[in-house]
Structure 1
Amino acid sequence: MKISLLFVAAAAAALGLALGAPLAVTVGGLIAFGALHNVLELRYVAGRFSFLLTGRFLAVLLGLITAIVLCRLAALVVGDPARYAEILVGYAVLAAACVHALRGARLVLGLLVLLVAALVSLAFSQYHFVVLAHLHNVVPLFFLWEWAGRLRRPGPFRWTQVAWVLVLPALVLAGAFDFALRGLVSSPVVASIAPPGSSALVGTRFLVVFAFLQTMHYFVWVFFLPRYAPEAPRFLLGRRAWLLGLGLAALLAIPFAIDYATGRALYGAFASYHAYLEFPVLLAAVAGGSQPVFRKTASGRQVAAAV
């Protein structure tokens, strides 16, 4: 119950900030916590789901995601062709997860669904990247739902996550909080997270949703999971991850300060590893059956046990 109330308080604060200054929260949060949360998320996912990220599957994922990094860097020069290439490689990442986790008719069905989705994404590429930007902020729901399996009564915690991840953003987009907006926002940032052709009001609503979910995203990866799941990481233990994340943040602050658009593009390339790795992990974990959970031995050491 106390943990659920912690999320209620965090969501209330994040929503207040997002409604009051959505652009500042989005830009400032990215510069301050973007690199650090990348490192901490990769550390958690790679440790918690180490039973999935092994051998050839891991090598294939790293190779494909590295190709996405190159696509994002190339987009700075060649534009749309590189973005289309990123879409295709992104679906190849999901296809690799299907091949790893599914068999028989389920595999065929999964690949057919991905083929149709890829064709739709190529036809509506601007919408694809808008959906991708918001979907990344929604994915923590899966990791928090999975984490709640250790609780005696996981229900209240899980539905609290559903409330802030899905219900609150839906209310914002429906206009329920328009009375609290402090003016409409016109910025190139809005264009990357709102559907093409959106009005100023709709664009501002999408910006508020993005600022809110991004802030909660950082809360999950920078505060909650490092504190409440300290047994998950298998590398970059102790202060190493924090030092690495803060060091990368300092380096990325330089291009952000010179030109925000270029800094954001470079950050986006760097962030591809954590952003694209979570999707195949989610798919493979959901489709792959039993998963290890952490338990304590008699000595108090955390180990993995299958359930």
Structure 2
Amino acid sequence: MATAALAAPARGLGAAPLAGFLAATALALAAALRAPAGTAVLGLALFGILHNVLELRYVTGRFESVLAGPFLKLLVALITGIVLCRLLPVSTASRAAEILLVYGLLAAACLHALRRRPWLLAASAALLLLAATASLSFPGYHFVVLTHLHNLVPLLFLLEWSRGLPRGRAAFMAVQCGWVLVVPALLLGGTLDGWAAPATATADRLAVSYTPPGWLDGSAGLRFVAVFAFLQTMHYVVWVWFLPRYAPEASAAFERRAPGLRGRRAWALGLAAGAALAVLFASDYAQGKALYAALASYHAYLEFPVLLVLVLGIDPTGRKPRASR
């Protein structure tokens, strides 16, 4: 796959990145417990667009052979349809159209990756049909699941990146599993409720977007907001700090594809666009959130075909399975 052509880390990471992740985990958890709504809103306003740009740079650079040619054009066309759905007033029709486009994108990714594995392709088609039926029947659950799933996917990207580590991979992945899986489980299970601040009107409003509809009663809503605030913050740590610093080969590959965004230009683009959106957030949060949700579709949904390749462990060209390590 594309990553085979990229340089692997030449030596172990050392203690600094692990210490950075542990410190970020502690700070993000404290913020999510004491001010979940503020952490979610402020984090989105400050880092939302910037992390979009940097994530797109990493994904399209490191997985350049997956996201290329007519397949990339098809994905962009489908995602643009999702963007248009999100720019329309929210309605049953617009939500159903978005769900269908999402599953169309997944179907295209499966066809591209599994075209030489007909039985696996048929099984994937059946699974997608069942999932699409469930999503159309319960759209509220569909969008909540996607919201949280997006904050979990860095674990797979970090798992793939860490394959190049000559040593220290077990410790590195243990730390990642700690913040991706263990901390959210503790939050949702109520173990940390004693340190949580009381619910606020803002947190109650956010809970509608981040909590499964059937769980909105009681304390579950505040817990889901805290989980979202925590994972979103750590999501930004991965895309804004860790991967730009420790995966320069992905940035170099992206710059070969988009020389106009070499060096600090990608950062400048993300910061400038983020500042403009922050002004909109300050003047009209609802409108800013809607615009961000539409624009963020590109970075969120371009992950899907890459994640499919990572989960199945296959060469996207269909030549041979990726060698396991």
Q: Return the TM-score normalized by structure 2.
A: 0.86
- Cα deviation for residue 203 of structure 1 reads 0.4
Query: Does structure 1 residue 183 correspond to structure 2 residue 198?
Result: yes
Matches within 5 A, 1:68-147: 68-74=82-88, 76=89, 79-102=91-114, 103-147=117-161
| Structure 1: distance between partners of 2:51 and 2:187 | 25
Aligned partner of 2:45 in structure 1 is 31
| Structure 2: distance between partners of 1:211 and 1:253 | 18
Query: Does structure 1 residue 269 correspond to structure 2 residue 294?
Result: yes
Deviates more, 1:277-286 or 1:11-20: 277-286
| Structure 2: distance between partners of 1:87 and 1:254 | 30
- Cα deviation for residue 263 of structure 1 reads 0.8
Aligned partner of 1:282 in structure 2 is 307
| Structure 1: distance between partners of 2:44 and 2:218 | 23
| Structure 1: distance between partners of 2:136 and 2:123 | 20
- Cα deviation for residue 54 of structure 1 reads 1.3
Instruction: Spell out, residue by residue over 1:4-42, the C-alpha distance to the aligned partner (whole angstroms, 9 max, x if none).
Output: 332122111110111010000000000000000000000
Residue aligned with 1:101, SS: helix
Query: Does structure 1 residue 228 correspond to structure 2 residue 243?
Result: no
Query: Does structure 1 residue 11 correspond to structure 2 residue 36?
Result: no
Q: 2:220 pairs with 156, 180, 202, which one?
A: 202
The 8 Å contact of residues 184 and 200 in structure 1, kept in 2 or not, is answered as no
Matches within 5 A, 1:145-160: 145-153=159-167, 154-160=169-175
- Cα deviation for residue 165 of structure 1 reads 0.4
Residue aligned with 1:232, SS: helix
| Structure 1: distance between partners of 2:132 and 2:288 | 28
The 8 Å contact of residues 144 and 211 in structure 2, kept in 1 or not, is answered as yes
The 8 Å contact of residues 180 and 231 in structure 2, kept in 1 or not, is answered as yes
Instruction: Spell out, residue by residue over 1:198-238, the C-alpha distance to the aligned partner (whole angstroms, 9 max, x if none).
Output: 12411000000000000000000001100111110222221
Q: 1:242 to 1:200 in 2, by over 3 A?
A: farther
| Structure 2: distance between partners of 1:66 and 1:194 | 27
Instruction: Provide the aligned length of Structure 1 versus Structure 2.
Output: 291
- The amino acid that maps onto 2:161 is W
| Structure 2: distance between partners of 1:288 and 1:99 | 15
Instruction: Spell out, residue by residue over 1:127-152, the C-alpha distance to the aligned partner (whole angstroms, 9 max, x if none).
Output: 11000100000000011111111212
CA RMSD of aligned residues (A): 1.6
The 8 Å contact of residues 103 and 128 in structure 2, kept in 1 or not, is answered as yes
The 8 Å contact of residues 101 and 288 in structure 1, kept in 2 or not, is answered as no
Aligned partner of 1:45 in structure 2 is 59
Q: Which runs of 5+ in 1 are unaligned?
A: 292-306
Residue aligned with 1:192, SS: helix
- The amino acid that maps onto 2:76 is L
| Structure 2: distance between partners of 1:54 and 1:287 | 19
- The amino acid that maps onto 1:214 is Q
| Structure 2: distance between partners of 1:58 and 1:188 | 37
The 8 Å contact of residues 31 and 256 in structure 1, kept in 2 or not, is answered as yes
| Structure 2: distance between partners of 1:121 and 1:4 | 38
- Cα deviation for residue 290 of structure 1 reads 4.6
| Structure 1: distance between partners of 2:285 and 2:124 | 39
Q: Return the TM-score normalized by structure 1.
A: 0.91
The 8 Å contact of residues 98 and 284 in structure 1, kept in 2 or not, is answered as no
- The amino acid that maps onto 2:179 is W
Identity of aligned residues (%): 56
Aligned partner of 2:232 in structure 1 is 214
Residue aligned with 1:34, SS: helix
- The amino acid that maps onto 1:106 is L
The 8 Å contact of residues 256 and 264 in structure 1, kept in 2 or not, is answered as yes
The 8 Å contact of residues 41 and 274 in structure 1, kept in 2 or not, is answered as yes
Matches within 5 A, 1:237-248: 237-248=262-273
The 8 Å contact of residues 309 and 315 in structure 2, kept in 1 or not, is answered as no
